[in-house]
Amino acid sequence: MAQTRILPAADNAHQYPLLIKQLLLSGPRYNPNQEIVYSNRSKYTYTDLVDRIHRLANALTDAGVKAGDTVAVMDWDTPRYLECFFAIPMIGAILHTVNVRLSPEQIVYTMNHAEDDVVLVHDDFLPIIEGVKDEIKTVKTWIQLTDNDTAKATSVDTIGDYEALLANANNQFDFPDFDENSIATTFYTTGTTGNPKGVYFSHRQLVLHTLVMTGTVASFDEMPLLRSSSVYMPLTPMFHVHAWGVPYAATMMGIKQVYPGRYEPEMLVDLLKEHKVTFSHCVPTIMQMMMATESIKTADLNNWHVLIGGSALTKGLCDAGARLGIKMYTAYGMSETCPLLSASHLKPEDMELPLEQQTAIRVKTGIAAPLVELEIIDPDGNPVPHDGEAKGEVVARAPWLTQSYFKEPQKGEELWQGGWLHTGDVASMEPNNTLTIKDRIKDVIKTGGEWLSSLDLENLISQHPAVAGAAVVGVPDEKWGERPYALVTLKPGEDVSLKDIQQHLSKFVESGDINKWAIPEQIDFVEDIPKTSVGKINKKLIRDQLKD
Amino acid sequence: MAQTRILPAADNAHQYPLLIKQLLLSGPRYNPNQEIVYSNRSKYTYTDLVDRIHRLANALTDAGVKAGDTVAVMDWDTPRYLECFFAIPMIGAILHTVNVRLSPEQIVYTMNHAEDDVVLVHDDFLPIIEGVKDEIKTVKTWIQLTDNDTAKATSVDTIGDYEALLANANNQFDFPDFDENSIATTFYTTGTTGNPKGVYFSHRQLVLHTLVMTGTVASFDEMPLLRSSSVYMPLTPMFHVHAWGVPYAATMMGIKQVYPGRYEPEMLVDLLKEHKVTFSHCVPTIMQMMMATESIKTADLNNWHVLIGGSALTKGLCDAGARLGIKMYTAYGMSETCPLLSASHLKPEDMELPLEQQTAIRVKTGIAAPLVELEIIDPDGNPVPHDGEAKGEVVARAPWLTQSYFKEPQKGEELWQGGWLHTGDVASMEPNNTLTIKDRIKDVIKTGGEWLSSLDLENLISQHPAVAGAAVVGVPDEKWGERPYALVTLKPGEDVSLKDIQQHLSKFVESGDINKWAIPEQIDFVEDIPKTSVGKINKKLIRDQLKD
């Protein structure tokens, strides 16, 4: 370690720990009357937000919550959830954002594993809890969330309704300072094998992630995502990686926020129109659902900028969106990375390009965000060339990566090797620093001694005008080791054959986008492609089904 | 202290210390070919910048510099200085930015006090060093900076010329990780009494300051200061609070940077025109000098946004600039605060206001930046009302405030009281969170039991069309305790009397901007107003001269 001159310990008394409460300072100062909207139900101002966060802190403290306790939330995407994003960590407790799309058994597993002390649960999820409540071991207190005047009757022994508790609570709470490395949030990743794994983030990590996100997504002329006149609506659930951390950034900047509640495509489009939403983030599936609605046809979407993550943004989807005026960008990250690692990056001059050429940039995984180091390495841990061709596993360093898996240090050691977090993604890096994810390591198809990217193949298949979606996995093959196997869903009313798709793919052999040997011989036209609870293609399940 | 759950120590191995080297990651990734310009002399790319920083690190290490050493720089505002901003702290050494406007005696004092080990000195400052070199105690190594092909002959025993050292150095340096609380920079404040005082900032502090500055100045639609298509030219010296830290932010974002060398107004205007500069920051004096040039009359300044600090932005200057198209904003901070505390803040709807009403917002000290807490307190330490009227001393908390004065802990204890940094500024706060600095505590004029702001009076006097500048101090008065005394400079060819100024001020009595008893009976029309080395009005000197 270099012998630097370090600030004298006595003076460190004036050091300022990075705490989530500081993210709540500036938004209400800049825009006390700015609105936070809950779907078509209600709205309030930033001044109200601060008032309600103080009340929630008092209500929880009155209910016995102490620093170090874990408070779980099961809710739709609501301003209430935003209040929990702040109030729970701000009293020193840990916010557990429960994945409500997991099976009841898995929800029980995560609650017991996280050692939840208190749970705030929405009426709609009470039936789940009622069915499993005897298996939940550590929860002492239940609080009910409702969207109706009267909370739903339940056999769960709650201490009351959220709104009533807030109404009765004092609206002044003196939020304490504490160690910035205190855990602020936890949630569970939804792998396709084994039990969910808990990741966790500290106050320091979330503050730094917010600052870099704000600078990054605000600072590019060609990506006016988070600006003072932006209107933000999340379209990835708040239980999943804090809705990518954007609610913290939006609140810090004092911009208008629209929380949609549950995701009903027609309703989401109506909210877009009514509030002139300018910035969202979502997985491709949600975008496809919204683009399939009737009401989107009459929407002016020219100012709607959308970060697409979770699965790859295909050229087909990006182009279809562009024709409606929607500006899409790839964002890259994962539950373990808080999540921001990189985003597709258009330079001012790129905005002058024809849409098709812009799409080629927008679908790339992009350039690492400030303070993020990304490298691609071979199985021996050596960097592979940044030539746009060579593939390697993406590894990352950044100030906001999960330090391990909660109570599973061994799995944490697999995640962290040689001081780098191993993402399990395979990518190439261009000389201009642009990353392109090619596949998950476990989804790469090893055929005839070559690595074939299942994502590349899905992307090309999805460009057929009749195709709605595609999933490609490797299946064992005696001669080649593995061969690609594609599941394809078609747009309503369309009908195509294996040969049509093969002919479509042949066109890309000439352009060099694909090798002839990569064209699949096996394509299954299906109604639905299996997805995980967070909307990713469930390739594990597809492989298992093909095995049977 | 709240008993939060803290990240397990073993896992903290993956924590990522905040280091200045991380600020150099993203700019070259986003824009490797973006230009960094040195006046009308030369330019290079971000790729070159990285190459030269690595070479400088090797050259310094070869010259014996180790982590913990102090390396001083005496240079104009150049890309060389930018290289020092990075390379010196990145090897774990401390960058001492020497105030070259101090007297030779004070320069010696700061070098000895900072315990400089190495000094990089420009040809133009060699005569100073030659005159005092026997008094400089700790410096072991001198490196010469030159703008000519051949370095100037000197009696100072240098190890050579900067460019030659870089040319001979390896362009790969493995910058180490170390404690983020390591001191990265130091410089000396130029008070009007006593010796200069050393302030210092850690890697962590500068990284956080940069992140918030980037988010803040980039994120407001109405203040497009630091965006990917911005062109940045500093107009406050790099030795003074790291040119407000903007070079770090600009580099992190990969935007075009123009370094002007020394400040010659005609040349500065030429650079503005040639490079279509969009963002600068300066003290009012520099702006006045540039606005007084011939060449500014043919410049298109509609995209030039300028943060004004150091002294108050007057309505007169802001309006005169607006007529030329220049968008000025007040920025508030001080050497001790790294410096960003607040900036004037226009909401999107404010941009629709007539220019005059915009000026009223632009000249206010503004709204605290994200992560900054500002309060105004009375002499007993109690907060005064935020009613826009009541005055109190401004106190601050933020993650980037100097922790003390170097080797002067007692003065540090006066700076920090009750956990807040005391700025010595008197201000009011409006209910909408807008701060307005009224005066320095020591410059407030106590007359007839009331506090009269010398800045308010200067501002009103400066609005007289014949007035170029004004300085007001309190002078002892038997009846009233103190009375205001004004020094006024006139624009070329103008001639006005005491009575003209008094009549001008009387108009503001009706509008409530001033009380009748505040109109000065004593006005001195002078050629020049005494300024400090950083361009602030030297009120101490004025009071001393009036005493004599």
- B144 to chain A, closest Cα gap in Å: 25
Q: What's the pLDDT band for B10 if we cut at 50, 70, 90?
A: very low
> B298 exposed, middle or buried (CB, 10 Å; 0-12, 13-18, 19+)?
exposed
Within 13 Å and on the Cβ side, how many CA atoms surround A283?
A: 17
Could A5 and B421 be called an inter-chain contact, meaning their C-beta atoms sit closer than 8 Å? Answer: no
Count Cα atoms within 13 angstroms, Cβ side, for A192. 16
Nearest neighbour of A6 by CB, restricted to B3, B181, B215:
B181
Classify residue B183: in a domain, yes or no.
Answer: yes
Quick check: bond before B237 cis, omega within 30? no
A152-156, A401-405, B73-77, B508-512: segment of lowest average pLDDT: B508-512
Q: What is the model's pLDDT at position A219?
A: 63
- The alpha-carbon radius of gyration of chain B (Å, integer) is 24
Judging contacts by C-beta atoms under 8 Å, the chain A residues touching residue B4 are 67-68, 92, 178-179, 182-183
Q: What is the pLDDT of residue B31?
A: 92
| DSSP string for B414-459 | HHEETTEEEEEEEEEE-TTS-EEEEEEGGG-EEETTEEE-HHHHHH
* Closest residue to B3, CB basis, from A67, A222, A373: A67
Nearest CA in chain B to A204: B15
Instruction: Give the domain-ending residue among B165, B180, B196.
Output: B196
Q: Cβ B6–A373 below 8 Å, yes or no?
A: no
pLDDT tens, residue by residue, B409-426: 999 999 999 899 999 999
CB-CB under 8 Å, A23 with B370: yes
Residue B339: cis peptide before it, omega within 30 degrees of 0: yes
List, for residues B110-130, the tens digit of each pLDDT value: 999 999 999 999 999 999 999
From chain B, the residues in CB contact with A370 under 8 A are 22-23, 25-26, 211, 214, 252-253
CATH at residue B85: 3.40.50.12780
Helix axes A498-510, A454-462, angle to 10 degrees: 110
Domain end point (choices B130, B162, B196): B196
How far is residue B28's CA from residue B495's CA, in Å, rounded to a whole number?
54
**CATH number of the domain residue A477 falls in:** 3.30.300.30
**pLDDT tier at B218 (50, 70, 90 boundaries)?**
low
Distance from CA of A185 to the nearest CA of B (A): 11
Q: Tell me if B534 is assigned to some domain.
A: yes
Choose the weakest-confidence range: A39-53, B206-220, B487-501.
B206-220
Q: Which of B66, B347, B407, B446 is catalytic?
A: B446
Please indicate whether residue A446 is annotated as part of the active site. Answer: yes
Q: For chain A, which ranges sit under pLDDT 50?
A: 10
Pairing of strands B367-368, B340-343: antiparallel
DSSP state for residue A22 in the 8-state scheme? G
Active site residue A451: yes
Q: List the single residue in B with minimal CA-CA distance to A227.
A: B219
Nearest to B433 among A2, A29, A227 (CB): A29
Residue A253 with chain B: CB contacts under 8 Å: 215, 219, 370
> Stretch B185-200: mean pLDDT, rounded?
87
A336 annotated active-site: yes
Tokens of A514: 């694909």
Interface test with A, best of B31, B203, B219 (most A CBs within 10 A): B219
Number of Cβ within 10 Å of residue A103's Cβ equals: 11
| R_g over Cα of chain A | 24
Query: Would the CB atoms of A433 and B211 count as touching at under 8 Å?
Result: no
**Which chain B residue has the Cα nearest residue A348?**
B229
Among residues A446, A450, A517, A521, the one annotated as catalytic is: A446
Contact B419 A14 (CB under 8 A): yes
pLDDT tens per residue, range B139-152: 999 999 999 988 89
pLDDT at B8: 61
Q: Is the separation of the CB atoms in B191 and B415 below 8 Å?
A: no
Does B232 fall in a domain?
A: no
Distance separating alpha carbons of residues B537 and A54, to the nearest angstrom: 45
Interface membership of B407 toward A (CB under 8 Å) = no
Q: Which residues of B touch A211 (CB under 8 A)?
A: 208, 211-212, 215, 370-371
Q: How would you write A235-257 as a 3-class SS string?
A: CCCCCCHHHHCHHHHHHHHCCEE
Mean of pLDDT values over B147-163: 93
Q: Do A11 and B403 count as a contact with CB atoms less than 8 A apart?
A: yes
The H or E element spanning position B87 is helix B79-90
DSSP state of B312: P
A166 found inside a domain: yes
* Domain count across chain A: 2
Chain A touched by B409 (CB under 8 Å): yes
CA B16 to chain centre: 30
pLDDT score recorded for residue A10:
46
Does residue A490 lie within any of the structural domains?
Answer: yes
Least confident of B205-219, B247-261, B333-347: B205-219
Identify the sign of the CA torsion B202, B206, B212, B216: positive
Q: Taking 70 as the threshold, does the pLDDT of residue B89 lie above it? A: yes
Out of B196, B218, B247, pick the residue that ends a domain.
B196
Using the Cβ of A176 and the Cβ atoms of chain B, whether some distance falls under 8 Å is answered with yes
Taking CA atoms, B265 is separated from B92, B294, B502, in Å, by 37, 10, 33
Domain that holds residue A87: 43-196
A183, B6: Cβ pair inside 8 Å? Answer: yes
- Residue A47, domain member (yes or no): yes
Any catalytic annotation for residue B527? no
**How much of chain B exceeds pLDDT 70, in percent?**
97
Q: Using one digit for the tens of pLDDT, what is the confidence trace for B539-548?
A: 989 999 988 7
Residue A452 lies in a domain: yes
Mutate to test the interface with A, among B7, B182, B202, B420 (most CBs of A within 10 A): B7
B175 located within any domain: yes
Partner A, chain B 193-222, Cβ-Cβ below 8 Å: 200, 202, 207-208, 211-212, 214-215, 218-222
Both tokens of B472, joined, read 């007001």
